[in-house]
Structure 1
């Protein structure tokens, strides 16, 4: 399995994948590449729905400002 992390946007994981959610639920995807939300704003969590694009860059997590 290969995982790609960037400074903005989702975590990209080569599929198929199985993800265990904090509540113990399990979701699966057989796609060859999946985008997993890192911002916590996705309406389709844990899958990315590009909600991170609607947040100004300086307020995004990992911007270096505290």
Structure 2
């Protein structure tokens, strides 16, 4: 458990969220306060998160994972192909 006399630590992630030692209450610009009791909380800074103000990693670039090309992919074997 964190000692309340110690300063709360916040870690900046380049291109990512703010990592805050919890528990923490965040008040949004609309005045709504939300609380997380986790020991470390990722606070969204890009506003892309579907769970804002908590980060859901929406800031990461999404890239397709290349699969095998059609000429190198093995076709499924049927009973007649044995």
Query: For the superposition of Structure 1 and Structure 2, which TM-score range results when normalised by the shorter chain?
Result: 0.7 to 0.9
5+ long unaligned stretches in structure 2: 1-7, 63-82
Deviant stretches of 4+, over 2 Å? none
Q: How many pairs were matched up? A: 55
Match of 2:12 in 1: 5
- TM-score for the superposition, normalised by structure 2: 0.63
Instruction: Work out whether 1:47 is the aligned partner of 2:57.
Output: no
What residue number does 1:23 align with? Answer: 30
TM-score by length of 1: 0.78
State the secondary structure of the residue aligned to 2:60. Answer: helix
**Residue 50 of structure 1, CA deviation:** 0.3
In structure 1, list runs of 5 or more residues that go unmatched: 56-66
Q: What root-mean-square deviation, in Å, do the aligned CA atoms of Structure 1 and Structure 2 show?
A: 1.1
Bigger CA radius of gyration: 2
- The answer to which structure has the higher strand fraction is 1
